[in-house]
């Protein structure tokens, strides 16, 4: 159930949600997972089948990314629960929530069929991972609608970046995997655009509430896959491969969206609590930017050293 304290805020934003929903539906191009999956590469699994890494030419870090990306998509029932709780089941909000759920479901179908047919990951580990993750039911639970809008904007964009970079990493090995991840990333981009703009409208209606929510969600941000078995180790592999890391997080999200599009530094009409939250958040983002640029320098140095070693 939507919080009583969120009812007026969500009502106030509903006409904007309707406009953005219409824009989303107009931009959406229907696509079918079955047309992307390379079925001719599939064959039956024998009863005593045991997967081994020789089945695939995809490197281990790409397999980590695909494993985490798919299990994240699989956890959809819990995201639906929270998104409907935050935004409600009625009117344009409810229509959006259900439509979004239907689109997300397609992603798991496409990625799972691809991985199963190509034998890119161990199907037993994958299924056990899904059971473990979903039985745990661990998902981020933003407390208010304002928190929810901020969180899902950050999360959809992070997911777009992660799917897109996974596709780019696959490209030299398998064009089909590249195409699937690219297509899924296009959907994530449209989800991001809906949330980015409804959040922007939220900032116009109630900047003080929104900036306090934003501070909580930026400083506490975690990807929605935290309940996946070995999530920490997989995340490290994904970051080391440059598929999703601290630099992406700063340069791809905090800088262009929080500072740029939402204009955190320029927000007007903040009360005392809002102003204090903005100050703390600006400091946090500045610090994050410094860490990201140091990481970038170190990475460039390492790459230059590796080049020298190769040349020698």
Q: How far is the CB of 40 from Fe ion (least distance, A)?
A: 26
Q: If we measure between CA atoms, which residue out of 162, 149, 221 comes closest to residue 188? A: 162
CA–CA gap between residue 260 and residue 238 (Å, rounded): 26
Give the interface segment with Fe ion, choosing from 118-126, 151-159, 230-238, 279-287 (CB under 5 A).
151-159
CA–CA gap between residue 253 and residue 69 (Å, rounded): 18
Q: How far is the CB of 289 from Fe ion (least distance, A)?
A: 26
Binding mask 32-71 for Fe ion (x = CB under 5 A): ----------------------------------------
Q: Which is nearer to Fe ion, 27 or 303 (CB)?
A: 27
The CA–CA distances, whole Å, from 239 to 34, 89, 155, 163 equal 30, 37, 16, 13
Q: Which is nearer to Fe ion, 104 or 197 (CB)?
A: 104
**Within 13 A of 63's CA, how many CA atoms are on the CB side?**
18
Q: Which of 61, 104, 174, 215 binds Fe ion (CB under 5 A)?
A: 104
Q: Which is nearer to Fe ion, 81 or 302 (CB)?
A: 81
Q: Which is nearer to Fe ion, 11 or 103 (CB)?
A: 103
191 binds Fe ion (CB under 5 A): yes
List the end-to-end C-alpha distance of the chain, in Å, as a whole number. Answer: 65
119 binds Fe ion (CB under 5 A): no
The CA–CA distances, whole Å, from 47 to 44, 51, 56, 116, 142 equal 9, 12, 20, 15, 44
* 45, two tokens: 């699994």
Q: How far is the CB of 155 from Fe ion (least distance, A)?
A: 8
206 binds Fe ion (CB under 5 A): no
188 binds Fe ion (CB under 5 A): yes
Contact of 264 with 282, CB cutoff 8 Å = yes
Residues lying near Fe ion in the complex (CB under 5 A): 73, 104, 107, 156, 188, 191
């Amino acid at each position: 159930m939507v919080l009583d304290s969120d009812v007026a805020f969500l009502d106030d934003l509903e006409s904007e949600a309707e406009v953005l929903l219409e824009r989303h539906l107009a931009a959406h191009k229907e696509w079918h997972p079955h047309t992307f999956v390379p079925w001719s590469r599939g064959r039956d699994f024998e009863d005593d089948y045991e997967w081994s890494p020789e089945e695939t030419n995809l490197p281990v870090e790409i397999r980590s990314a695909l494993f985490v990306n798919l299990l994240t998509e699989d956890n959809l029932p819990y995201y639906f629960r929270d998104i409907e709780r935050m935004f409600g089941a009625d009117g344009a909000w409810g229509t959006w929530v259900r439509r979004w759920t239907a689109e997300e479901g397609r992603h798991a179908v496409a990625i799972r069929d691809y991985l199963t047919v190509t034998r890119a990951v161990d199907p037993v580990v994958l299924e056990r991972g899904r059971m473990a993750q979903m039985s745990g039911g661990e998902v981020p639970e933003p407390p208010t609608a304002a928190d929810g809008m901020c969180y899902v904007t950050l999360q959809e964009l992070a997911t777009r970046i992660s799917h897109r970079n996974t596709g780019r990493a696959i490209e030299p090995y398998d064009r089909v995997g590249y195409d699937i991840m690219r297509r899924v990333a296009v959907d994530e981009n449209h989800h991001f655009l809906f949330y980015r703009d409804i959040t922007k409208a939220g900032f116009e209606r109630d900047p003080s509430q929104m900036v306090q929510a934003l501070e909580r969600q930026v400083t506490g941000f975690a990807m929605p896959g935290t309940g996946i078995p070995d999530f920490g180790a997989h995340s490290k592999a994904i970051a080391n491969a440059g598929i999703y890391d601290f630099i992406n997080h700063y340069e791809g999200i905090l800088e262009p969206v929080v500072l740029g599009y939402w204009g955190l530094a320029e927000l007007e009409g903040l009360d005392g609590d809002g102003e204090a939250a903005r100050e703390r958040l600006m400091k946090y983002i500045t610090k994050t930017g410094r860490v990201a640029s140091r990481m970038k320098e170190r990475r460039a140095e390492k790459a230059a050293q590796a080049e020298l070693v190769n040349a020698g």
